[in-house]
Chains A and B, each alone.
Chain A
Amino acid sequence: MSASNAQVDLARVAAAKGGNWRPLPLISNRNLRWGLNLAVLIYIVLVYYSVDINWARVAQGMDRAINFVSSFFTPDFVTRGGEIAVGLRESLTMTFVATVIGIALAIPVGLGAARNIAPRPVYFFCRTIIALSRTFQEIIIAILFVAMFGFGPLAGVFTLAFATIGFMAKLLAEDIEDAQNEPLEAIRATGAGWLQWINYAVQPQVMPRLIGLSLYRLDINFRESAVIGIVGAGGIGATLNTSINRYDYDTSAAVLLTIIGIVLMSEYLSGYVRKWTA
């Protein structure tokens, strides 16, 4: 600890003895602390001058905001019930197919991206795939895939599967890197082949986490499927977007409540499945 910090500490102790105790600051370096405060202040000023807000327009929109919030108390599942049902079925099937394909592809990539079991060139190749897949939002990928494969749920399936690869492979690779080394050595010492080695030494160690993550990704993919429909990749997002553009907030509220309900259900279910497989 530097001299100035020790002095500060002495001052704190003296103040505390005088009955004036103060908690330790979160950032111990004084200059860094004040520098950060100053930087935040300058940033706030800069942002204040670079963002110009049209308050008149905001005030105008308050009617609609109130309409939207109140529509959550009168959601309309019936009038556009058919469209909601079709969108929902498409979203759910798209999500499931994409998650399965994505995980099936993510497992080899994840194995290749684990430093402790993959050779160097394979490692770098797989890490590049992961970085590419993780940087771009699903919606950007969806725009490209819609341009390539045309409108419809297939573009959505490819988008979600591509995003799943980056997510699952990264977490799987980290889990494999954290795996205990002893079982890996033990199985290798029996003369097992590469596949047997993966199957009996690596897989049992990562399986519980892999199942948990798969369920979590299924949940994420469902939520994302509501978004990529906006750019024409199928699913409930298209229904939602149409209803918002028509200012038909009662239907929008119905769609949003359906999404929230399904996410809640899947969260509850995944807790149950995780308990059951662990």
Chain B
Amino acid sequence: MPTTTENNQPIWMRRTPARQYAIWFMWFLGVMLFLLCFKVVSDNTIWEFLTDAHVQAASLIGRMVPPDWSITGSLMLPLWDTINIATVGTALGVFIAFPLAFLAARNTTPHPALRAFALSVIVSSRSINALIWAILLVTMIGPGLLAGMIAIALRSIGFVGKLLYEAIEEIQPTPVEAITSTGAGRMQVLAFSVLPQIMPAFAGITVYRWDINIRESTTLGLVGAGGIGLQMNAAINNLAWAQVATVFVLIFGTVIVSEWVSAKVRHAVI
């Protein structure tokens, strides 16, 4: 136990002096890095804009309140589209991620080369936001719901694939041995020893990703990939902030409901 002496009395200290200095030095480096980065940001900022930021904020909020409820009815169809984008996109993504996870898990992969391939697909999909996928897809297959669905699916592959292959790697090996010892084939071993162990995790991950996808699909319309984001974009471009506020309230409500559903389902299956 590190101590320091004061009036011939040992006093307790949490760390030895050397360790304390090392920690202080790390903090010093961190603060320096922060200041350096802040300088770069600050050099690229027009600080004059900030002097009236509070006026801008106040006027923005003033124009948003009260929300324009008259457009609520016309937003219901886009909201339904948004939910469809999230749901079909999740389904497509999970459909591809499921076999991919078995290729990526160390204990079920047929070949290390296939494992490396599956892992690189998972990382690429995870690194790129659904919105970027959507921009690319809109330029390729045109604006609309399909682009949104595929964008959500491409982003979901990495997320579901990663969590699922980790779940597969954490299974109990004993049922696998038991089923293998009965003379079961490769597919039978997967179906009767691995699958039952990961099914609850799989259901939980899917619903969790669906919940995230509902949030993400609300913004896909900003780049033309359908849903309520299209209406939000139109309202922002028209500077109709009262309508924007209505969209925000609807998004807030939808997200809260989807979060509640997801929490309920995950609670039920895990």
Contacting pair B84 A50 (CB below 8 A) = yes
Report Cα–Cα, A23/B50, bound state, in Å: 65
Tell yes or no: A152 within 8 A of B by CB: yes
Tell yes or no: A180 within 8 A of B by CB: no
Tell yes or no: B248 within 8 A of A by CB: yes
**Which of B124, B131, B145 has a CB less than 8 Å from the CB of A139?**
B131
Interface positions of B (Cβ within 8 A of A): 14, 33-34, 36-38, 40-42, 44-46, 49-50, 53, 56-57, 60, 80-81, 84, 87-88, 123-124, 126-129, 131-132, 135-136, 139-142, 144-146, 149, 192, 196, 199, 203, 215-216, 218-219, 222-223, 232, 236, 248, 251-252, 255-256
Residues of B within 8 A of A240 (CB): 132
Contacting pair A260 B123 (CB below 8 A) = yes
Query: Main SS of chain A's interface residues?
Result: helix
Q: Which of A166-215 contact B (CB under 8 A)?
A: 200
**Which of B215, B223, B232, B256 has a CB less than 8 Å from the CB of A230?**
B223
Contacting pair B88 A97 (CB below 8 A) = no
With A89-B40, A93-B41, A96-B37 already in contact, the answer to whether A144 and B60 are too (CB < 8 A) is yes
Q: Offer 5 A-B interface pairs, CB within 8 angstroms, sorted by A.
A: A93-B38, A230-B135, A256-B128, A260-B124, A267-B123
Contacting pair A135 B135 (CB below 8 A) = no
State the Cβ distance, A250 to closest chain B Cβ, in Å: 14
Residues of A within 8 A of B140 (CB): 61-62, 64-65, 68
Residues of A within 8 A of B127 (CB): 223, 256, 259-260, 263-264
Contacting pair A259 B145 (CB below 8 A) = no
Tell yes or no: A94 within 8 A of B by CB: yes
Which of A7-15, A52-60, A108-116 lies at the binding interface?
A52-60
Q: Which of A51-81 contact B (CB under 8 A)?
A: 51, 53-54, 57-58, 60-62, 64-65, 68
With A58-B146, A147-B60, A148-B56 already in contact, the answer to whether A259 and B128 are too (CB < 8 A) is yes
Residues of B within 8 A of A241 (CB): 135
Contacting pair A58 B44 (CB below 8 A) = no
State the Cβ distance, B186 to closest chain A Cβ, in Å: 17
Closest to A24 in B: B196
Query: Main SS of chain B's interface residues?
Result: helix
Closest to A244 in B: B135
Closest to A56 in B: B142
**Which of A90, A143, A244 has a CB less than 8 Å from the CB of B236?**
A143
Contacting pair A247 B139 (CB below 8 A) = yes
Tell yes or no: A47 within 8 A of B by CB: yes
Q: Which of A73-124 contact B (CB under 8 A)?
A: 89-90, 92-94, 96-97, 100
State the Cβ distance, B133 to closest chain A Cβ, in Å: 10
Report Cα–Cα, A92/B34, bound state, in Å: 11
Closest to B42 in A: A154
With A139-B219, A139-B222 already in contact, the answer to whether A263 and B252 are too (CB < 8 A) is no
Contacting pair B252 A227 (CB below 8 A) = no
Tell yes or no: A232 within 8 A of B by CB: no
Report Cα–Cα, A90/B146, bound state, in Å: 33
Residues of A within 8 A of B40 (CB): 89-90, 93
Contacting pair B131 A26 (CB below 8 A) = no
Contacting pair A264 B123 (CB below 8 A) = yes
3 A-B pairs with the lowest CB-CB distances in the bound complex, closest first: A150-B49, A93-B37, A57-B142
Contacting pair B44 A150 (CB below 8 A) = no
State the Cβ distance, A193 to closest chain B Cβ, in Å: 16
